[in-house]
Structure 1
Amino acid sequence: MSIPPKVRIFWWRALSNIIPAQANLMTHHVPVSASCQLCHHHMDSTCHALFWCPIVKRCWKNTVFMVTLKQMHFSELIEIFLRMKDVLIKPDFETFVMRTWAIWQARTRLLHNEGLKSDRVDVEWSESLLRDYQSAQESLNVAPQRSLEPSLARWQRPMEDQRRMEVDAAVNEATDNYSIGGIVRDHAGHILLAFGRKIPKPVSVVHGELVAIQEGLRVIQEQNLTIHDITTDSLLAVQAVTNPEEDFSYTGAIAMDINRSLLGQQKISLRHVRRSANVVAHTLASFAISSQSPFVWDHGSFPIWLVDLVINDLSMSQ
């Protein structure tokens, strides 16, 4: 898999100091205990220190990363990061890396500066650190790397006589405006419905993607339209809805609401797709940012640019 150079350099620098303390000390012939100094687990390791120590797990409990982490409990550190890079979009991956770095720094301070008087690893400052990093990246004014993703995945047709809704969220970083959009198509690719609108600034990228799903369900209910599945390019949003019993903090309530709606509407399935397979929904969400008002198009009222976009999408589909 390909990792953008800037991101690769960033997290390798950040992780260069995240190594087992025991290994570092033993190279200097300093005898140390192999157990965790915070929870006294019999076998300490980098992954234990960053993810599995009970005190540290509190830092991950209220995040949408927890589902993926649970699936990789016995994996090596590099495997965890490569998996996260594969399933997360760039803003979420940067958040994950920064939180990991903050946990390591906070854990080190707790052990070496404050002793064991506290039972809490505080990583709230990682958010401001991430904003500083992102601002620094923007100031570099480096041209974005060309994505290889479009060659990896294309739009796939629904099954015979089924309808699919595709949704996405978008942001204009220059104006700090956010929006959502979506489209409903049948198995032949014909447009049945398209919609989009601006939304208040979400508390996270995942929250914005969940709003897109929720708005799509509302629109099809108003239009009395039946669909069979929903696709989004946010894997974390799918995981949040699939596992609403997890404590997802700011995503918990909306994820639970969507889960109930899906189960109540003929058990509609929710699936993750690559961004390159979600081009039309993403374009509609981006268009909504500049739209003067919310829009819902149906039955022949579709603009020419949308029809052309769908035709192009169909021509490259599998």
Structure 2
Amino acid sequence: MIFRAPEFVKVGMKDPTFTTRTDGAYLPQVPYGGTGGVLRYKQGQFVAAFVHRVDYISSPLHAELLAVKQGMQLLQSMQVASAVIESDCQVAVTAITSIRLRFVRRQANTVAHRLASQGFESNINHEWFVNAPEIILDALMYDSNRIH
């Protein structure tokens, strides 16, 4: 589904400014949490909002980071190309702003590409820790030989 920005955003606006505020909810005694967020235009006008119940939340930081991610997904679905995302969790903001994002060519991204392809073909979510899954072992070996 493609969403469109409200008319008040389009009329005569050369450089609209959007702000998305996100938050996560977590209680250690339950195995789920919640996320929410609101997208506003620069004068504070409501544009969109979201709420999600999320299973398997492990910490307050986990909930906050998922909320930021879902805020970014909302911006993408609304086709908003430029926005500020705000969170009340300083640890989450610091964690995200300390990450560098850079471009790599497809040839250097074979492991992640293979995992994405598996995700496309599968109807279940998987995560692996410590031991790599068999489907990427050859690609990991290939990458390791090219790096060293």
Q: What are the ranges of 5 or more consecutive residues in structure 1 without an aligned counterpart?
A: 1-159, 245-258, 265-318
Query: d(CA) in 2 for partners of 1:202 and 1:177?
Result: 5
1:215 equivalent in structure 2: 70
TM-aligned CA deviation for residue 161 of structure 1: 3.8
Asked if 1:242 corresponds to 2:92, the answer is: no
* Alpha-carbon distance between aligned partners in 2 of 1:231 and 1:171, rounded to the nearest angstrom: 18
* Residues 171 and 204 of structure 1: CA distance in aligned 2, closer, same or farther (over 3 Å): closer
Structure-to-structure mapping, 1:1-318, within 5 angstroms: 161-172=16-27, 175-244=30-99, 260=101
- Residue-by-residue CA offset, 1:221-252 (whole Å, 9 max, x unaligned): 122124421100110111111113xxxxxxxx
Matched letter for residue 183 of structure 1: V
Instruction: String of CA shifts for 1:47-88, please: whole Å, max 9, x gaps.
Output: xxxxxxxxxxxxxxxxxxxxxxxxxxxxxxxxxxxxxxxxxx
Greater share of residues in strand:
2
Percent same amino acid among aligned pairs? 24
Per chain length, whose mean CA-contact separation is higher, i.e. which structure has more relative contact order (CA < 8 Å, sep 6+)? 2
Aligned position for 2:113: none
Q: For residues 28 and 91 of structure 2, what CA distance do their matches in structure 1 show?
A: 21
Decide whether the 8 Å contact of 1:164 with 1:227 is kept in 2: no
Tell whether the 8 Å contact from 2:40 to 2:46 is kept in structure 1 after alignment.
yes
What is the deviation of 1:175?
4.6
Distance (Å, rounded) in 2 between the aligned partners of 1:182 and 1:190: 14
Count, aligned residues: 89
Counterpart Cα distance in 2 of 1:204 and 1:180: 13
Q: Distance in 2 between matches of 1:195 and 1:236?
A: 22
- TM-score, normalising length from structure 1? 0.26
Give SS of 1:165's match.
Answer: strand
- For residues 167-221 of structure 1, give each alpha carbon's deviation from its aligned partner in whole angstroms, at most 9, with x where no partner exists: 0001356654301010001121110010111112223211221111111111221
Q: Which residue of 1 aligns with 2:136?
A: none
CA distance in 2, matches of 1:236, 1:173: 18
Residue identity matched to 1:167: T
Q: Distance in 2 between matches of 1:202 and 1:233?
A: 18
- Between the aligned partners of 1:173 and 1:190, the Cα distance in structure 2 is 35
Query: Which is richer in helix?
Result: 1
CA-atom RMSD in angstroms: 2.5
SS of residue paired to 2:65: helix
SS in structure 1 at match of 2:36: strand
Secondary structure of 1:225's counterpart equals coil
Q: Name the SS of the counterpart of 1:198 in structure 2.
A: strand
- TM-score, structure 2 normalization: 0.52
| Unmatched tracts of structure 2, length 5 or more | 1-14, 104-148
Q: 2-side partners of 1:175 and 1:220: how far apart? A: 29
* SS state at 2:48 partner: strand
Describe the superposition over 1:128-179 as per-residue Cα deviations: whole angstroms up to 9, x where unpaired: xxxxxxxxxxxxxxxxxxxxxxxxxxxxxxxx84110000001356654301
